[in-house]
Amino acid sequence: MGQDQTKQQIEKGLRLYQSNQTDKALHVWTKVLEKTSDPGGKFRVLGCLITAHSEMGKYKDMLK
């Protein structure tokens, strides 16, 4: 997955998250994390995942 595609998918996840579709956003971000080789993209996705899990109170999932 290239940097542009990674960025687009991260933004897609953010739109889902902001529209209260957290589960769908988590799914998108998890797929990005699995497929991207961009270190900056991975870092950003991890931040998104941590924030979402934290706000949901799913601290164990945060550690995965």
Neighbours of 10 (CB within 10 A): 21
pLDDT surpassing 80 at residue 62: no
Q: Are 18 and 49 in contact (CB under 8 A)?
A: no
CA distance 1 to 21: 24
Measure the CA angle with vertex 38, ends 20 and 52; round to 5°. 20
Average pLDDT, whole number, for the chain?
A: 90
At 59, the pLDDT band (50, 70, 90 cuts) reads confident
Quick check: helix, strand or coil at residue 19? coil
**CA angle in degrees (0–180, nearest 5) for 21-4-19:** 15
Q: Tens of pLDDT along 4-35?
A: 899 999 999 999 999 999 999 999 999 999 99
Residue 36 has pLDDT above 80, yes or no: yes
Task: Enumerate the domain spans of the chain.
Answer: 1-61
Q: What is the pTM of this model?
A: 0.85
